[in-house]
Structures are given as C-alpha cells and as structure tokens.
Amino acid sequence: MQAVLSLKKYLKPYMPFAIIAPLMMVLEVAMDLVQPTIMQHIIDNGIAKKDTPYVMQMFGLMILCAVIGLIGGAGCSIYASKTAINFAADIRQDLYETITYFSNSNKDHFTLGKLITNITSDVEMLQRALTMLLKIFVRGPFTFIGAILIVFLTARELFPILLVVVPILALSIIFFTKLSGNLFLKVQEAVDAVNTKVQENLAGIRVIKAYNRKSHQIQQFTTVNETLMKRNIQADQIIGILMPLTAFVVNMGIIAALWLGAIKVENSTIEVGVILAFINYLMMIMGGLMSSSAVLMQIARAVPSANRIAAVLGEQSEIISAEHPVTTPIKGSVEFDRVSFAYNKNNEPVLKNISFKAEPGETIGIIGMTGSGKSSIVKLIPRMFDADQGSIKIDGRPIKDYDLQTLRGAIGFTPQKATLFSRTIEENVKYGNEEASLEELIEALECSCALEFVEKLELREQYMVTQGATNLSGGQKQRLAMARAFIRKPAILILDDTTSAVDSISEKRIQQAIEENFEDSTKFIVSSKISSIRHADKILVLDDGVVVGQGTHKELLENNKPYQEIVSTQLVRGGTLNE
Ligand SMILES: Nc1ncnc2c1ncn2[C@@H]1O[C@H](COP(=O)(O)OP(=O)(O)OP(=O)(O)O)[C@@H](O)[C@H]1O
C-alpha cells in the first residue's frame, strides 16, 4: 500500500480534475435515482387518476433529469480520462528518465523485460484503475446507498425484501471479487512470462535459427501460452458464475416484491407504481454493488503494477555527482591506487588491488584472459560502477570530485558491444558530439576506417541503420561505434575490445590514425590480441582481477611470464605479432 501511496504525488497537478469527475458523477447518479420515483408518481398520480397534464409535466421532468444526468456522466468521463491519462503519462515519463539515469549496478537489479513491462502495461493498468476509480467508484456506493435510502423512505412495506437480498448479493460479490482478484494476479504473472518469452525469442531469433531450435522455442512458448490461457479461463469462469448468480438473487427479490406487493395492493396499503419503482431500485442496488466490485477488482490488479513501478522509481542511483564539483577542464591523467571492485558485494572482487598511472597523451594497453577483469577496469573510469576500495584519481583529484556530466563529457568510451540506434549513420556518430560539423564527422569516420564503407552506401552518412543494426556487419558496427568516440575528441579515449571484428589491415590503420589524431588524449586500449596493444606506452597484464605485469611490450617480453605465455600462444596461432 505504501507503494501505491508513493504515486499519489503524480495525481497532485490534476487534483481539480480528479475532484470534478466524481462530483459530476454524483450529479448523474442523483438524476438516475430520481427517475424511478418520478415514474412511480406518473403511474400512481397521473395514469391511475387519468391526469394527463400531470403526466406530461412529469415526463418533462424526466427528460430534464435525463439531460442533466447525461451532462454529469459525460463530464465525469472527460475529467476522469483527462486525470488518468495525464497521471499515467507523467509516471511513464518519470520511469523512462529514471531508467535512463540508472547506473549499471541499478540496471542489474531489474531485467530488461520487466522494465519494458513497467513502462507499458503496468502504467496502463494504473491508468485503467484510476479511470474506473474516478468514474465508477463514486457511482457504485452512491447508487447502492441512495437506492436503499429511497426504498426505506418511499416503499417501507417492501424494505424487508432488501434485508434478505442485499446481504446475499453483497456476500457473493465480495467472495467472487476476492477469488477473482487472486486469479487475476496469476493471470498477470502468466502475461509477464509470455512477454519475457517473446522478447527473449525475438532478440535471439538468429541464434535460434542457426541452432535449429525453432521447435524447442515454440514448445517453450506453447507452455507459457497455455498457462496464460488456463488462468484466463479460470478468471473468466468466476466472473461468468457471478453474473447469473446475482441476476438469480435479484430475480428472486423481484418475485418476492411482486408477491408481497400484490397482497399489499389488494389491501390498498401500497400502490402499483411503488412496486415498479422498488424493482428499479433493486436493479440499481445490484448494479451499484457490481460496479463497486469491478473497481475493487481493477484496483487489486493494479496494486502489483503500482508496486513494481514504485520499486523502479524508488531505486536510488548509487552513482551521483559531487555537490561542489571540480571545475577545471580534464587533461587526462588517470591514477588507480590499490583499487578493488566486486559487482556483487557478497562475492569475491573481480578487481583486486589494481594500481597504475597513465599520463595525458599516453596509451595504456590492457590484456588478459577472458573474464580477467579488463572491461571492469575501464568501466570504473567513467563511473559506470564505483570502486569498493582504493582510489581513482583524474588529474590528481578523486574521480568523485567531478560532476558526472563533466567527467563523462571528457571521455570517449566505446564498449565491447557496439550499440547503434535506428537512426542515420550521421545521427549515430554525432551521438558522441551533437555540435560536430560535417568535416568533423568525415574525419571521425575516416579515423575509424568507416568512411570507406560509408562512401559506398547510396545515401552515405544518411544511410538508415535498422533496429539492432542488422543491416551492418559486425566490423562496420564497431567502426561506427569508434567514430562516435572519436568525434568527441575526448581527453580520455577508451576502446574496449573494439577491433575484434575489424580486419588486421584496417586495425593497423585505425591504430595509426589514433596516434596521429589523439596525441594529447590518454588512451586505454582493451584487447585480448597482442597486436592491438603492443605499441602502448604501458601494458597492464591482468589475471583473475590482479595486475600480474606492467610495462612496455619489450619489458614484458623480457621479464613477464604471463605476458610471454600470451605472446607465445598467439604466435603459435600465427598471430600478427611480427608486422
Ligand atoms: N555486470 C556484471 N555483473 C556481475 N558480474 C560481472 C558483470 N560484468 C562482468 N562480470 C564478471 O566480472 C568478471 C570480469 O569481467 P570483465 O568483463 O571485466 O572481463 P574481461 O577481461 O573484460 O573479459 P572479456 O575478455 O571476455 O571481455 C567476470 O568474471 C565476469 O563474469
């Protein structure tokens, strides 16, 4: 419940609408409630006494009430929708922004599928619940109480029937609402499972085809789909039983009213119009109870969604900017002093006691076996994660003294997996620097050896990259991702295994271009290939999160066993060491 309450701040700007909507609904319900009484008067005082002017007068009143009711109902719908749609849009926006500012460790707390469901169906669920709450929640209880009150005041002879019918109706509705609430929760979980499966299968469609696992995946999907179907049927059946059951109870009430009414009419203690009005009010009472239960059911379904939304919105970013940040521009010296880091604080650190220093303009090569911690080291520089122990300094100042935007603005980071957006090549590269000119764009493309293939495309820089960049090769993607970092002309350039899919001739040209164009930048080159880092001013050799060697290629070749081993395996494989 705490979670639901934490979302009420999103309702605040729309509070006037949220108040007007139920008020308009009160108007509609009030008009609905007077209709059977008017009808009763028409029958008993107009038709029975053949008083045509009175009947006409009452008809006029009925039409007036109907029009006022119509205005109330329409107004309620408009304001309720306005409130709920704006409320949902604000939450969606906030969720998106929160997720965008998530640190990597924040992201690790949620799966991608869950975050997408959060922004789409969870918000939709809240919107629907709020609309119903504003539209029907007032209607249900107000109709219910109003109708009982009117029967008590105007048809007391028939009131005992309500004393039997209403508790039976209320109890059966409460019972079924509770039951279906639990079932709908299970339906929601099954929908989540279907969504996750679809996402997983679509993302991995190529692997599925390559490994001929289509029937296996279809089988898995069938299982989750069948679970969803079964749960939906169960939930629907409950609703299906509730409807005829309540109708049966109401019908029994009507029969009782007619029977009791007939006796009373014979004794002249009641008039026919009163019986008809009573039947109408009985139907209203049933409608009021049913609509209240529908709202309660919708709210019960929206609570888990609200909890999930509140969990994402309440996720505290662990990586925040300094309150009084350093304002001097970053030159690029980077120093690690006994740095240790673990992704999961309960597990062993993936980086242990790392120390090194990089001066502005230097190139640092990082090499080691798969999983030795190479990427983890460079991820600490733009503060994608914060170190647990030790210190990282930039230009002699602790990294946490910088404003995050300043820090990251000074870094050109190309991650291991080249991520491109479904935009033009120009937009993708300029993502690194929106202010860059066309010359700078060409320069960056040339530097990453991307220009040679971009020039061959019909639309050149305006070529549209498809979703997931499926219309580009692995090497082309890596080149564009590097161009994005180059166009920044950053003080610190980080290339995390960015040439794994680039041919060796192009790689050499890229290395040369980096040396020429980024002379003053501090460069971090992560690779498992000796050829990519051998010219570095300093090479860090990593093994299981520990720096086991540090020096130039020549020095390490002379005195570092792990490095010698890497070199020898790559020589054996016919590597490109002796160019
Ligand atoms: N987001 C993460 N959450 C938990 N553990 C992680 C995460 N990223 C990496 N690791 C773990 O940290 C260790 C070091 O990973 P890292 O990516 O730094 O290695 P690497 O040397 O760059 O490997 P590779 O050459 O395969 O890219 C590995 O054991 C890996 O499983």
Q: 3-class SS at 321?
A: coil
* pLDDT for res 1: 66
Identify the residue whose C-alpha is closest to ligand 1 atom 30.
371
- Protein residue with its CA nearest to atom 14 in ligand 1: 373
Ligand 1 mutation pick, 109, 374, 379, 542, max ligand atoms within 8 A of CB: 374
Distance 351 CA to ligand 1 centre (A): 10
Tell which one of 110, 350, 377, 533 to mutate to probe ligand 1, the residue whose CB is within 8 A of the most ligand atoms. 350
Q: What is the pLDDT of residue 48?
A: 84
Mean pLDDT of the chain: 87
pLDDT band at 510 (very low <50, low <70, confident <90, very high): confident
Ligand 1, atom 12, lies closest to the CA of 350
- From atom 25 of ligand 1, which residue's Cα is the shortest distance away? 370
Average pLDDT over residues 121-150: 88
| Closest approach atom of ligand 1 to CA 104 | 1
Nearest residue (CA) to ligand 1, atom 28: 371
Mean pLDDT along residues 352-376 = 93
DSSP bridge pairs for 422: none
Q: Find the mean pLDDT for residues 210-224.
A: 87
CA distance 550 to 540: 5
Mean pLDDT of all residues in 233-240: 84
399 CA → ligand 1 middle, Å: 22
Give nearest CA residue, ligand 1 atom 3: 343
Distance in Å, CA 523 to ligand 1 centroid: 21
The pair of structure tokens assigned to 355 is 């120390």
pLDDT of residue 97: 79
- Distance (Å, rounded) from C-alpha 277 to C-alpha 271? 10
Which ligand 1 atom sits nearest the alpha carbon of residue 372?
Answer: 21
In this structure, the residues whose C-beta lies within 6 A of any atom of ligand 1 are: 108, 343-344, 350, 368, 370-376, 416, 497, 528
Q: For the residues 423-448, what does the mean pLDDT come to?
A: 91
Is there a contact between 33 and 150 (Cβ–Cβ < 8 Å)?
Answer: yes
Alpha helices (runs of H) in 322-437, residue ranges in sequence order: 374-379, 404-409, 425-430
Q: Is residue 100 over pLDDT 80?
A: no
pTM: 0.67
Which pLDDT score is estimated for 578? 43
Residue where the block lists tokens 């303009």: 361
pLDDT in tens, 10-53: 999 999 999 999 999 999 989 999 998 998 899 888 888 888 89
Q: Say if residues 519 and 324 touch (Cβ distance below 8 Å).
A: no
Q: How many CB atoms lie within 10 A of CB 119?
A: 17
In the reported structure, the alpha carbon of residue 545 is separated from the centroid of ligand 1 by a whole-number distance in angstroms of: 10
Backbone angle region of 361, left / alpha / beta, with phi > 0 → left and psi within -120 to 50 → alpha? left
CA of 373, closest atom in ligand 1: 18
Cα of 373 from ligand 1 centre, angstroms = 6
Q: What mean pLDDT comes out for the span 474-493?
A: 92
Instruction: Say what the pLDDT of residue 356 is.
Output: 94
- Token duo for residue 215: 């029937």
For ligand 1, atom 6, the nearest C-alpha belongs to 343
Tens digit of each residue's pLDDT (9 = 90 or more) over 305-315: 888 888 888 87
pLDDT at residue 236 in the model = 83
Task: Give how far Cα 477 sits from Cα of 120, 375, 466, 473, Å.
Answer: 30, 19, 12, 6
* pLDDT band with cut points at 50, 70 and 90 for residue 573: low
Q: How far is the CA of 376 from the centre of ligand 1 (A)?
A: 6
What is the CA(372)–ligand 1 centre distance, in A?
Answer: 7
Confidence of residue 467 (pLDDT cuts 50, 70, 90): confident
Of ligand 1's listed atoms, the one at least distance from the Cα of 545 is 14
Q: By alpha-carbon position, which residue is closest to atom 24 of ligand 1?
A: 370
Radius of gyration of the chain from its Cα atoms, rounded to whole angstroms: 36
Q: Where would I find the beta strands (DSSP E) of 318-441?
A: 334-341, 351-358, 363-368, 389-394, 397-398, 411-414
In the structure, what pLDDT confidence band is assigned to residue 113 with cuts at 50, 70 and 90? low
369 Cα: distance to centroid of ligand 1 (angstroms): 11
Closest ligand 1 atom to residue 376 Cα is: 18
Res 579 pLDDT > 50: no
Q: How many angstroms does the Cα of residue 410 sit away from the middle of ligand 1?
A: 24
- State pLDDT tens for residues 377-421: 999 999 988 899 999 999 999 999 998 888 988 999 998 888 888
Atom of ligand 1 nearest to the CA of 351: 14
Domains with residue ranges and CATH for the chain: 14-313 (1.20.1560.10)
Residue whose CA is closest, atom 5 of ligand 1? 343
pLDDT above 50: residue 115: yes
- Size of the chain, expressed as the number of residues it contains: 579
Q: Is the dihedral of CA 257, 260, 264, 267 positive or negative?
A: positive
Apex 440 CA angle, 437 and 445, nearest 5: 130
- Residues above pLDDT 90, as percent of the chain: 37
Q: What is the pLDDT of residues 156-200, one digit of tens each?
A: 888 888 899 889 988 988 888 788 777 877 887 788 788 888 878
Helices 272-313 + 139-154 axis angle, to 10: 160
What's the pLDDT tens digit per position in 76-99?
A: 999 999 999 999 999 998 888 788
Q: Given ligand 1 and candidates 376, 377, 378, which is best to mutate, with the most ligand atoms within 8 Å of its CB? A: 376
User: Is residue 518's pLDDT more than 80?
Assistant: yes
Which atom of ligand 1 lies at the shortest distance from residue 108's CA? 1
Name the band, by pLDDT with cuts 50, 70 and 90, for residue 137.
confident
> Is residue 75's pLDDT more than 50?
yes
pLDDT of residue 84: 94
Tell me what the mean pLDDT of segment 129-153 comes to: 88
Question: Whose Cα sits closest to atom 26 in ligand 1?
Answer: 370
For residue 572, what pLDDT is reported? 52
